């Protein structure tokens, strides 16, 4: 998912101003799941555009239920959710981006998940853990993503390399070989700064054995933080990666014109490459993240939550159950290319046979969650600033790590 730059403190202020008590649903209190009623649902981005089709199919099977889907753009999703929560107008069911969970759980507007209905073992571990706040589960994983390595296999062969890099040393060596032997302009694309630069750095941090939170406190001045910042900065120091990129930079264009042969990203790029760079068919692959001490990505995606004040919790639970059943998850993948959160959905069709999709499944099995923190937006911005300081040569990794730790300490807890 893509978050906006609003902060949790804004949400808390709004909640204090307006109070969070009313619901955004129609019908009487505690309406049974099989009674005639309208279920209100918000979904973001592509999911908001496609969910109406699935809702229509659900209504045919459940004629007493009318599912009213409201599409919401990711660019306004956070603000709209905060305002609705503060005004008591959250819908019965909401798509919740992975980095929003801690904030809205802290506001007390989400209904805890019934873990007798939804089983932890059915879902990828990191996807489930990203919905846990103080031991309580507040969301059901809907779809997942993980960052992996995309690389040009044809240019790698030209550079004398016939397999994906397995570790950091091989990744750096391949980036150099691309430039020296395949004559690419760059060796790899990594984000040097700007909003959400942490998304490119975090796989290095997690693969170095890092933890964002340890014993309830940030762990951003750890050995893993210094090691990963050092490795990350090395690509800019050696001229293997651009030190300056514009907001909205399209790496797929440069991937297609041979100037950038490697980058880290999520599963949506498989479709982007196929649709926008068709000449690359058979000339690229997705691979597991090269290892530091491990190959560990971070788990993104979205979950489905129920408003605490909804009068349609039973119907909402049934609808979420429908959306997360293996067969319907597989169908959702066909409609949207969203990767299923339910592991059983991966056993048939393209998800089971496509080698690029298998990479994502493997990466998700070992991925780590982003802890559900109320002030994650602010924490993320501090990490972004630290990344910029090392990629631009303004601070050493040690200095950047200490500053990250100091500036995030008061934002946790």
Q: Of 350, 68, 375, nearest to 218 (Cα)? A: 375
Distances (CA, A) of 360 to 247, 285, 291: 26, 12, 15
Q: What is the mean pLDDT of residues 90-109?
A: 96
Contact 376, 102 (CB under 8 A): yes
Q: How far apart are CA 294 and CA 309, in angstroms?
A: 43
Same fold, 8-145+300-366 and 148-296+375-411: yes
Contact 144, 301 (CB under 8 A): yes
Residues forming beta bridges with residue 342, ordered by sequence position: 123
**Tokens coding 361:** 């499944």
Q: Is 173 helix (H, G, I), strand (E, B) or coil?
A: helix
Biggest CA pair distance of the chain: 70
Contact 220, 212 (CB under 8 A): yes
pLDDT score at 267: 95
Residues forming beta bridges with residue 299, ordered by sequence position: 146
pLDDT in tens, 255-310: 999 999 999 999 999 999 999 999 999 999 999 999 999 999 999 999 999 999 99
* pLDDT above 60 for 52: yes
Q: Which helix (H) or strand (E) holds 217?
A: strand 217-218
In CATH, which superfamily holds the domain spanning 8-145+300-366? Periplasmic binding protein-like II (3.40.190.10)
pLDDT score at 30: 84
Contact 365, 121 (CB under 8 A): no
**Tokens coding 193:** 């700064």
DSSP strand pairing (37-44 vs 262-265): unpaired
Q: How far apart are CA 4 and CA 127, in angstroms?
A: 21
Beta-carbon count within 10 A of 322 CB: 16
Residue 163: left (phi > 0), alpha (psi -120 to 50), or beta? beta
Domain 148-296+375-411 CATH (choose: 3.10.50.40, 3.30.70.1400, 3.40.190.10, 1.20.210.10)? 3.40.190.10
pLDDT in tens, 150-205: 999 999 999 999 999 999 999 999 999 999 999 999 999 999 999 999 999 999 99
pLDDT in tens, 22-32: 333 333 458 99
* pLDDT above 80 for 13: no
pLDDT score at 9: 39
Could you state, in order of their start, the residue ranges of all structural domains in the chain?
Answer: 8-145+300-366, 148-296+375-411
For the residues of 250-275, what is the DSSP string, one character each? -HHHHHHTTS--EEEE-THHHHHHHH
**CA contacts within 13 A on the Cβ side of 287:** 20
pLDDT in tens, 205-235: 999 999 999 999 999 999 999 999 999 999 9
Enter the pTM of the model. 0.91
Residue spans of alpha helices (H) in 279-348:
313-323, 326-336
**Tokens coding 341:** 């959160």
Least confident of 3-17, 109-123, 137-151: 3-17
């Amino acid at each position: 998912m893509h978050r906006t730059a609003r902060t949790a403190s804004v949400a808390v202020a709004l909640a204090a101003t307006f109070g969070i008590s009313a619901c955004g649903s129609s019908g009487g209190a505690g309406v049974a799941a099989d009674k005639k009623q309208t279920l209100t649902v918000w979904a973001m981005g592509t999911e908001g555009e496609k969910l109406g089709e699935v809702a229509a199919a659900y209504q045919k099977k459940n004629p007493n239920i009318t599912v009213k889907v409201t599409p919401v753009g990711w660019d306004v999703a956070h603000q709209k959710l905060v305002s609705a929560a503060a005004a008591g107008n959250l819908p019965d069911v909401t798509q919740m981006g992975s980095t929003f969970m801690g904030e809205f759980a802290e506001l007390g507007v989400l209904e805890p998940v019934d873990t007798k209905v939804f089983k932890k073992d059915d879902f990828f571990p990191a996807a489930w853990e990203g919905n846990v706040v103080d031991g309580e589960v507040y969301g059901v994983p809907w779809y997942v993503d993980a960052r992996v390595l995309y690389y040009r296999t044809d240019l790698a062969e030209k550079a004398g390399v016939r397999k994906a890099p397995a570790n950091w040393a091989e990744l750096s060596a391949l980036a150099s070989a691309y430039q020296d032997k395949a004559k690419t302009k760059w060796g790899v694309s990594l984000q040097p700064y700007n909003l959400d630069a942490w998304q490119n750095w975090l796989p290095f941090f997690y693969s170095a054995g890092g933890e964002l939170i340890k014993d309830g406190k940030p762990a951003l001045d750890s050995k893993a933080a210094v090691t990963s910042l050092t490795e990350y900065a090395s690509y800019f120091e050696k001229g293997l990666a651009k030190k300056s990129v514009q907001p909205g930079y399209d790496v797929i264009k440069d991937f297609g014109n041979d100037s950038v042969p490697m980058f880290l990203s999520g599963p949506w790029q498989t479709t982007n490459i196929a649709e926008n760079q068709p000449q690359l068919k058979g000339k690229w692959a997705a691979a597991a993240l090269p290892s530091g001490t491990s190959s560990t990505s971070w788990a993104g995606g979205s979950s489905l939550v129920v408003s605490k004040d909804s009068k349609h919790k039973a119907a909402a639970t049934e609808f979420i159950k429908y959306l997360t059943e293996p067969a319907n998850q597989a169908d959702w993948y066909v409609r949207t290319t969203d990767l299923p959160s339910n592991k059983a959905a991966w056993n048939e069709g393209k998800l089971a046979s496509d080698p690029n999709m298998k990479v994502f499944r493997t990466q998700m099995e070992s991925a780590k969650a982003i802890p559900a923190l109320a002030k994650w937006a602010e924490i993320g911005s501090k990490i972004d600033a630290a990344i910029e300081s090392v990629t631009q040569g303004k601070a050493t990794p040690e200095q950047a790590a200490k500053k990250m730790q100091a500036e995030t300490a008061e934002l946790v807890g």
